[in-house]
Structure 1
Amino acid sequence: MNTDGADQGCPRITSAGGALRDHHGRWLGGFCSKMSNGTTIMAELWGILQGLQLAWRKGIRFLILESDSQLALDLIKNRTDAAHPHSTGLIRRLLGQDWVVQLAHTYREGNRVADWLSKHSLIYPFDTYELDEPPRDLKKILQEDLLEVSFPRQVLQRINSDI
């Protein structure tokens, strides 16, 4: 399961998306969710919650959930989040069910499908939509994932000028 959250505009419209695939990368389901005003971290947490709920409903009992938000993953794992107790509490309760879930960080380049779905959510009315089939415009990115197409990642390094 890959999940992502996004926000856009003023007032801030938030959205989330996720894709559930098997160990071969084949589509098992997905979702698009559009919410009203919120923050990016709220959208990320909502995406994780929606992704976990979808996997549970589909009977998945061994799951790796990847998010490109290290902050959201840290909030879930640290159990001290006063700013988002509702979201993190629901996620922790779901993680406590009878299944094995590994939460993992991935870079944005490895989360392109969920990123696309979270942005695609903005075209829908406010609600959550389960996707039995991937949207047609997403198929190129899914194919690139299956072929393990890589994308260079730019990393800025700070050079110490005191040397």
Structure 2
Amino acid sequence: MTGFMLMLWIILLLMWDALGPSNLPPSCGKSGRLGISFSMKRCLLIAMELLLKLAGFWKLNTDGSAEGNPGKAGFGGIIRNDSGQWRKGYFGKIGICSSLMAELWAIREGLKLLMEDHASHVIVESDCATAVNLLQDINTGTSVYAALLEDCKFYASRIANCSFAHTLREGNFCADVLANKGRIQESRMTILEVPPKDLEPMLLADMASVAFVRPPR
């Protein structure tokens, strides 16, 4: 990524973090603030997607799914190249764990696949802000998540240029579908070289930067 593109990426990320309902004018009202915030974030999401394509970055979208917190959990993710095309997908079961552990598990498995594929420029996107913040923190701490965080950071360090970013849940729909598949399957992990048929319409929508509305968890 050139210096100009890196600066632009940082500006977009700062704008993304700053765009919360509480930062919009009080005159908008609660519903108005939420609507404006969502619309502006959608515009930023599209701009960031275009920037990644221009810079030659691959993208990993991940998601974890837990039936309860803790509960029966699964994970899933999708790897796309810099044209937004499918490179690989994966999903699997974990057992009983928290939703945050499922999110981190999904990220770790995706990073392992990227390392094995010798990817050099990657953006990892998750709709779990807590997971992203933990991975951006220099210290892994001593919590129950420490081992997973260390694994994620190790695999990320084996990729020349790897960054973590938070995304809208509506922009992470495909990974969510795979995570739900993982939660109900029997095998530990399934790797998909081609996208499943039921995912194709959503992949096309993602490439066109169209978000599906997902119900609240």
Counterparts of 1:117 and 1:50, CA distance in 2: 13
Superposed, 1:75-90 pairs within 5 Å as: 75-78=134-137, 79-83=139-143, 84-90=145-151
User: How many percent identity over aligned positions?
Assistant: 33
Counterparts of 2:112 and 2:140, CA distance in 1: 22
Deviation at 1:82, TM superposition (A): 2.4
RMSD: 1.9
Q: Secondary structure, in 3 states, of the residue corresponding to 1:24?
A: coil
Counterparts of 2:88 and 2:159, CA distance in 1: 21
User: Is the CA contact 1:75–1:81 (under 8 Å) kept in the aligned structure 2?
Assistant: no
Q: Secondary structure, in 3 states, of the residue corresponding to 1:37?
A: strand
Counterparts of 1:113 and 1:151, CA distance in 2: 10
Superposed, 1:1-163 pairs within 5 Å as: 1-8=60-67, 12-78=71-137, 79-83=139-143, 84-150=145-211
User: Is the CA contact 1:36–1:126 (under 8 Å) kept in the aligned structure 2?
Assistant: no
- Higher fraction of helix: 2
Counterparts of 1:10 and 1:99, CA distance in 2: 35
Q: State the Cα deviation string for residues 24-66 of structure 1 (Å, max 9, x = none).
A: 2110001001110100000000001011111111121110110
Could you say which residue in structure 2 is the equivalent of 1:157?
none
Code of the residue aligned with 2:112 in structure 1: it is Q
Describe the shift of the 1:150–1:99 C-alpha distance in structure 2 as closer, same or farther (beyond 3 A).
Answer: same
Deviation at 1:148, TM superposition (A): 2.1
Counterparts of 1:48 and 1:28, CA distance in 2: 16
Q: Secondary structure, in 3 states, of the residue corresponding to 1:36?
A: strand
Deviation at 1:152, TM superposition (A): 7.0
User: Is the CA contact 1:15–1:119 (under 8 Å) kept in the aligned structure 2?
Assistant: yes
The TM-score normalised by the length of structure 2 is 0.66
Choose 3-12 or 51-60, whichever is displaced more. Answer: 3-12
Counterparts of 1:70 and 1:50, CA distance in 2: 18
Consecutive unaligned residues in structure 1, runs of 5 or more = 154-163
Could you say which residue in structure 2 is the equivalent of 1:159?
none
Counterparts of 2:193 and 2:86, CA distance in 1: 8
Deviation at 1:99, TM superposition (A): 1.4
The TM-score normalised by the length of structure 1 is 0.86
Code of the residue aligned with 1:5 in structure 2: it is G
Counterparts of 1:116 and 1:128, CA distance in 2: 15
User: Is the CA contact 2:79–2:86 (under 8 Å) kept in the aligned structure 1?
Assistant: yes
